[in-house]
Structure 1
Amino acid sequence: MTNQEQVPPPIDGRDPANLRGDPIDGDRYYSREFAQREWDMLWTKIWHVAGRLADIPEAGDFLVHNFMKESVIAVRQEDGSVRAFYNACGHRGMRLVSDSSSLDSFTCPYHGWRWGKDGVLEHAQDAEDFPQGNPCGKLSLKEVRCDTWGGFVWYTMDDDGPDLLDYLEPMPALYRNYPMDTAVRVAWYRIELNANWKFVTDNFSESYHTRTAHPQVPPWIDQDVDTARHEMWPKGHGRTVQPMRPSLTDRPASGLNEVFAAILKSWDIDPEGYDSYEDFVMEGWKDLKAAKRKLWKERGYLHYEHLDDEEITDSPHTVIFPNVTISFLPDNLVFFRSEPHAEDPEKCYFDLWCMAFPVEGQEEVESIMAGPKPLREVDECEHRVFDEGRGIPELAGQIVYQDMELAEGMQAGMHSRGYGDAYLSAQETRVRFFHEVLNDWLEGRRP
């Protein structure tokens, strides 16, 4: 196993003794001064996701990622590599392109300067009229460091920061068994929320809220307090690993869990063949692992080939510091991201990308967060305003919709004199840990 594949032991994400105890004050959710510090010390230094490699398969295909007032182009090169540039003409700063597309070169709409895929200036009107000499072949767009992992294109505005794999460590090693680049994006949303971006990371750093906010979850993901593993690493990344089996605490009144029973039946397991509800849950979960191990190839679940016994049935819900969350499920990847509004710290953009691993003969998938979807790449992003749910009625009742319903009330509460600091349970340890790592970045102490 190489160094990149070694996973250091996690810090216990249920032990508050691993925390300094930094307060989570309300000010950080609405202060413009705090937001400016985040821009200066965080956003200009971390690695951002520009988009997916699947969106730029051919030379000249490019992604545009707008972040606050900055914009970056990531373009596929002739040799198959990806390079990134600031989306600003080297002449007088004009934005070159507004949306992802495909071009052989980038022509400025203001004065017609043309830049190649490699960023080098190819043409300028009246090129001999410059006292500095002909700029063609000499000037280049300002390049941004760019790399790829997990089927995503990443970039950073920091010329001196860590390489991508070092920044992400230990995530690339931890999730090396998942063929992430083969996943198909079946739902794609960007939703404006009236809440600070940190609400999203807070929310995905704990599952304590699930029984209250997501009553549909315990029938198929075990939410019992002592069941999950809560893990975190010094760079701020962390995850909650939960078995995808019914909670033994939340038992259906009828005595039959139809959700889990249907899952067992789909893998030729008789859900009525167990002596007790406990056996139905615990032994059924083990039988499900065995059935998947036996039948995956003949049923076309080729992405199971390298998954271990935990990955083939369970749910490691993973936060990549500071603002990306990926739910790794046996048949799905769900990508969440929050990004701050350029002007108002009490608004953010919430990205939802539902992805499914292709299965031979399957034409529709359950996308977990967005409901049933055709198993094919969606053509374009749905830009919406949440508007108390009115902006995305098709997602009503979904887990992510329920999370967004809480956002504005949480944001309002940060202004209250009744709020001083979070009073956290042990299973919410990762929430404070996130803010402590954020504080380190803002104070110039990168983990």
Structure 2
Amino acid sequence: MPADATRPGAPPPPDEWLVAADGFVPKERYTDPGFATLEHERMWCRVWQIACREEELDAPGAYAEYSIGDESVVVTRGDDGALRAFANVCLHRGARLVDGPGCADAGTLRCPFHAWRYDLDGRCIEVVDAEDFVALPADLRLPRVRAEAWGGFVFVTLDPDAEPLADFLHPLPEVLGPYHLEQMRLRSFLTTVLPTNWKAAVDAFNEAYHVQGGHHQVLPFVDDVSIAYELLGKHAHYGRLPGARRALRPSPRLGIPDDEVDEAMILRAMVAGLGGAFLGEERALVDDLIEVGPPPGQTLLGAYQERRMALLSARGLDVSGLGADQMTSVEDLYVFPNVVGPVYPGSAILFRARPVPGDPDHTIHDTFVLEWPDPAAPPKPAKRRSFPDWQARDWGTLTTQDYENVARVQAGMKSRAFRGLRLNPRQEVNLLHMHRTVDEYLRAPAATGGGR
């Protein structure tokens, strides 16, 4: 890569790094440190990205830290209730002010090195032995970083000239509005490091083409062949079946005729395969329906859909924007560039992948588990937990299968015999869309700095 390739006004990226007209994706996008550097300067420093959940900043003085590459941002809740974000760096000698989430001591952020203090508006309010300094600016402030919220998530961007968040997300808010993500609460937050590139970690959750190979146990209740894919601006989703086909049905690969479909088996397989996505009452509902049977004139799946809708409504979820089929289907969401995962009525599991600075072969992988709160038992604040060794924890069958496969992908890409990805133009269209959107950023001039 040319030495000045990441500076404003630099030449465009080499053609051999870009997605070809026929959709061929060069492997260097996953393996080359030079590509990772270019990607950071021209894409990561310009896009909106999820930093944390709003409920993690539930009181004045609460803060969360978000890092992307070598950049770190601290997001705070001010005394006025407003969200603000700043570069997480002391203006004295560059020490990071905070590590992880917390609450500001007496409403201030204190540098752990020399004890300079900043208020929640970013203003430096104390310099120890200030009289010793010469020409210290009177109005010393942390550089601001733009922050906005949608769906209960706090987004930040390092680019002061980035488009408004609403424009960046369009049309996702309209598509996902009926699920009311903003009213869900964080049940758990898990972090690990995977031996793969961040894009490979996103890829694994952004298509159903791999279900027949990597998750064969869900084929009894997932029609992986007929799943529809839809591009939504920079983003995408999949999961809705076209036409009038049922949302919950065996894969055609199993060859089960429609008149031989066992609905009880489907419901049992669904709960076993997606157990983490269901509330305890929902799992009990399945057991009860299978034991007692549906009311006369109703199918087992129809009765389950009706009762699940009533259960969620009793919990306070506005289900008016959801249909019966959505009670037994999934919106697999992709938020460009790095968040992907299933959204269900009443819950969601979203995965966030971030590059490890200077290392394209590893990614920081975060899991947000959201659920609709029980009005009778308000949820306790979720603690962030970190597992540096991904193999030291049981992630559940589905996620573990994906983690194992993305490790295989990164290892295999090192082979001289492998030159790049040949994607299925229908079932892997979301992956191709991601790469082409990344290329739009790579072809544009680099961002000039973070915050203001």
Question: TM-score with structure 2 length normalisation?
Answer: 0.80
Distance 2:421 2:133 in 1: 60
Q: What is the aligned partner in structure 1 of residue 225 from structure 2?
A: 225
The within-5 A match list for 1:376-415 is 376-386=380-390, 389=391, 391-392=392-393, 394-395=394-395, 397-415=396-414
The within-5 A match list for 1:176-191 is 176-191=177-192
The within-5 A match list for 1:2-81 is 20-81=21-82
- Contact map agreement 1:47 1:154 (CA 8 A) in 2: yes
Distance 2:305 2:261 in 1: 26
Distance 1:214 1:77 in 2: 45
Q: Match for 1:260: what amino acid?
A: L
Q: What is the aligned partner in structure 2 of residue 436 from structure 1?
A: 436
What displacement does 1:287 show? Answer: 4.2
What displacement does 1:33 show? Answer: 0.7
Q: What is the aligned partner in structure 2 of residue 166 from structure 1?
A: 167
What displacement does 1:132 show? Answer: 2.3
The more displaced of 28-37 and 206-215 is 206-215
**2:349 match: secondary structure:** strand
Mapped pair 1:303 → 2:317: yes
- Contact map agreement 1:189 1:352 (CA 8 A) in 2: yes
What displacement does 1:311 show? Answer: 3.4
Q: Deviations over 1:28-75 (max 9, x none)?
A: 111011001101111100112221111111110000112221111000
Distance 1:344 1:47 in 2: 22
The within-5 A match list for 1:142-221 is 142-220=143-221
The more displaced of 190-199 and 202-211 is 202-211
Distance 1:339 1:84 in 2: 19
TM-aligned CA distance change 1:423 to 1:285, over 3 Å:
farther
Identity of paired residues, percent? 27
The more displaced of 288-297 and 41-50 is 288-297
**1:413 match: secondary structure:** helix
Q: Match for 1:305: what amino acid?
A: V
Q: Which has the higher contact order (CA 8 A, sep 6+)?
A: 2
**2:402 match: secondary structure:** helix
Q: What is the aligned partner in structure 2 of residue 5 from structure 1?
A: none
Distance 2:283 2:86 in 1: 50
Q: What is the aligned partner in structure 1 of residue 427 from structure 2?
A: 427
- Contact map agreement 1:210 1:223 (CA 8 A) in 2: no
In structure 1, list runs of 5 or more residues that go unmatched. Answer: 1-18, 364-374
Distance 1:305 1:256 in 2: 24
The more displaced of 32-41 and 406-415 is 406-415
The within-5 A match list for 1:87-106 is 87-103=88-104, 104-106=107-109
Q: Match for 2:439: what amino acid?
A: N
TM-aligned CA distance change 1:122 to 1:331, over 3 Å:
same
Q: What is the aligned partner in structure 2 of residue 108 from structure 1?
A: 111
**1:237 match: secondary structure:** strand
Q: Deviations over 1:71-111 (max 9, x none)?
A: 11000011111100001112222211222110110122333
What displacement does 1:431 show? Answer: 1.8
The within-5 A match list for 1:323-362 is 323-359=338-374
Q: Match for 1:199: what amino acid?
A: A
Distance 2:119 2:186 in 1: 29
Q: Deviations over 1:252-279 (max 9, x none)?
A: 99957435168798277568979xxxx9
**2:223 match: secondary structure:** coil
**1:402 match: secondary structure:** helix
The more displaced of 422-431 and 236-245 is 236-245
TM-aligned CA distance change 1:200 to 1:312, over 3 Å:
same
What displacement does 1:359 show? Answer: 3.7
In structure 2, list runs of 5 or more residues that go unmatched. Answer: 1-19, 272-281, 447-452
Distance 1:417 1:170 in 2: 41
Q: 2:330 aligns with which of 315, 319, 327?
A: 315
Q: Match for 1:246: what amino acid?
A: R
TM-aligned CA distance change 1:420 to 1:240, over 3 Å:
farther
Mapped pair 1:258 → 2:265: yes
What displacement does 1:190 show? Answer: 0.8
Q: 1:120 aligns with which of 117, 120, 123?
A: 123
Distance 2:92 2:176 in 1: 43
Aligned length: 400
Q: Match for 2:81: what amino acid?
A: G
Q: Match for 1:385: what amino acid?
A: D
Q: Match for 2:317: what amino acid?
A: H
Q: Match for 1:353: what amino acid?
A: F
Q: Match for 2:409: what amino acid?
A: M
What displacement does 1:322 show? Answer: 1.1
TM-aligned CA distance change 1:254 to 1:21, over 3 Å:
closer
Q: Match for 1:414: what amino acid?
A: M
- Contact map agreement 1:120 1:141 (CA 8 A) in 2: yes
Distance 2:224 2:420 in 1: 26
Q: Match for 2:169: what amino acid?
A: L
**1:232 match: secondary structure:** strand
The more displaced of 244-253 and 169-178 is 244-253
TM-aligned CA distance change 1:192 to 1:293, over 3 Å:
closer
TM-aligned CA distance change 1:377 to 1:402, over 3 Å:
farther
Distance 2:303 2:370 in 1: 26
What displacement does 1:332 show? Answer: 1.4
**1:241 match: secondary structure:** coil
